[in-house]
Chain A
Amino acid sequence: MRIPCPHCGERPVDEFTTIGTADPVRPEASSDMKDWVDYVYIRNNPAGTHREWFHHVGGCRAWLVVTRDTRTHAILGARTAEEARKP
């Protein structure tokens, strides 16, 4: 797997650390306990396209949102966290 880092270009995956899915959205502090349990513990776990956090620790140290196919490991795109937040 090679990840196209927006800053560094295409780099091998062992330069990165992942903390997994980028889909869950942190609920408001006042939200129901059910929303918090969903956020912390429940996962969509798709077989297919998946957005996930990668940290380029061995490079520019930027946090990226990488879109990847979990069935084939094909990388479909990578944006910085800031870019990924934009609609």
Chain B
Amino acid sequence: MKYSVFSLLRNAFQANRNWKPAWRDMSPRTDHVYDVVIVGGGGHGLSTAHYLAKVHGITNVAVIEKGYVGSGNVGRNTTIIRSNYLLPGNTPFYEWSLKLWEGLEQDINFNAMVSQRGVLNLYHSDAQRDAYARRGNAMRMNGVDSVLLDAAQVRAMVPYLDFDNARFPIRGGLLQPRGGTVRHDAVAWGYARAADSRGVDICQHCEVTGIRIEAGRVLGVETTKGFVRARKVALAAAGNSSRVAAMAGLRLPIETHVLQAFVSEAIKPLVDTVITFGAGHFYISQSDKGGLVFGGDLDGYNSYAQRGSLPLVEHVMEEGMGLMPMLGRLRVVRSWGGVMDMSMDGSPIIDKTPVEGLYLNCGWCYGGFKATPASGWCFAHTIARDEAHALNAAMRLDRFATGHLIDEKGAGPTPNLH
């Protein structure tokens, strides 16, 4: 069923009794050879399935997810989209992602609540202003929108910040007006529904337990529901990438770390953009339900637990108070953690692997949500054509051996600092 105002009205008049599930609940077909099996039914796996089907006409595809669709990082992030990157290997990719976000809802016929409310990165010193000016110029050279604001302009936009903070006074900001937020769960659901409508099998509660390889070529995946044959296998397992890749004998330049996020009780509209605190690492926006959604840094140690520890909670709250003292009057109602595939240079990998027919998508650090459309789009291209698209040509698995790193932050091989 195509969703529209008419389908809404028609179903409303039928007391909403006739809505159908948005996608078929499938088990992988074990008597069948899939063209592509995607391991991981998160945002990236599902968008890959959608673009494989839509752009490349490859619909004989299964997405295999160990939990339920949206139970991983696509349902655990702070929903921010932006393309304010500095380096040539990154900027065109993220800008393509933002362009795909702009047309996403029409493309997949699903209301993902894409809201281009702007992303404002604050600067607090002359040196930081210069760095942001450089970043803004790099963005403009790549056709990305960016505006450098002084303190008065920022004050006019968001007057409730602590501008005259003694340690971290706000001197201005770099604004990307086309950035914003998206309803994250709807992205997973929308891509799942769009892929399913073209014939992709979405298989939930089915865990991949092994990858069968013969003579250097992938044959399929072992799962808790039997062996599934496939001509190509594509890994999009986020924080569990190292574990899944190990099934194919690969060791990755990845560490898994926990990132926490928080939401406050709902209040009336206050934060109508996305604000990031430049003196630390803190970002905040307001959901349509009214809760302030915010987060900060990684806990800093390797973790596969989807929860963090209290010192980091305190640290994030302190940063929030440094930016916006009124936050102290609010109660935090929920916090949660997601496990991040932190790469050794802070940038992702979308590439073929040394195993024929095995493809890898990982290393999203904690920037994976905004990349969801372009990641799937480029991964689908890489799988279908057996070669990288120009947009992900730099995101190679072997760049660590050849020295072609994409290190936005210049932090070196320290995954807990990216």
Q: Which of these, B254, B302, B413, contacts A70 with CB under 8 Å?
A: B302
Which A residues, 38 to 87, have Cβ-Cβ distances below 8 Å to chain B?
38, 40-45, 47, 50, 52, 68, 70-73
- Number of B interface residues at 8 Å Cβ cutoff, please give it: 24
Is the Cβ of A21 less than 8 Å from the Cβ of B401? no
Contact A70 B252 (CB under 8 A): no
| Complex contact A43–B401 (CB within 8 A) | no
CA distance A44 to B344 in the complex (A): 13
**Which residues of the other chain, B, contact A68 by a CB distance below 8 angstroms?**
301
**Chain B proximity of A66: nearest CB distance (Å):** 9
Separation of A13 and B300 alpha carbons in the complex (Å): 11
CA–CA, A71 and B239, complex, Å: 12
Interface centre among A19, A33, A34 (most CB of B within 10 A): A19
A25 near B: Cβ within 8 Å?
no
Question: Are A42 and B256 in touch, CB under 8 angstroms?
Answer: no
Surface stretch bound by A, among B116-124, B303-311, B377-385: B303-311
* Main DSSP-derived SS at the A contact region: mixed
Q: Is A37 an interface residue (CB 8 A)?
A: yes
Contact assessment for A37 and B400 in the assembled complex, using a CB-CB cutoff below 8 Å: yes
Whether A6 sits at the interface, judged by CB under 8 Å, is: no
**Residues 279-306 (chain B) with a chain A CB within 8 angstroms:** 300-305
Q: List 24 A-B contacts (CB under 8 A).
A: A13-B309, A19-B414, A19-B416, A20-B302, A20-B414, A20-B415, A21-B255, A33-B401, A37-B400, A40-B344, A40-B413, A41-B344, A42-B251, A42-B253, A43-B252, A43-B415, A45-B252, A45-B256, A47-B304, A52-B302, A68-B301, A70-B303, A70-B304, A73-B305
**Which residue numbers of B lie inside 8 Å of A, CB to CB?**
240, 242-243, 251-256, 300-305, 309, 311, 344, 400-401, 413-416
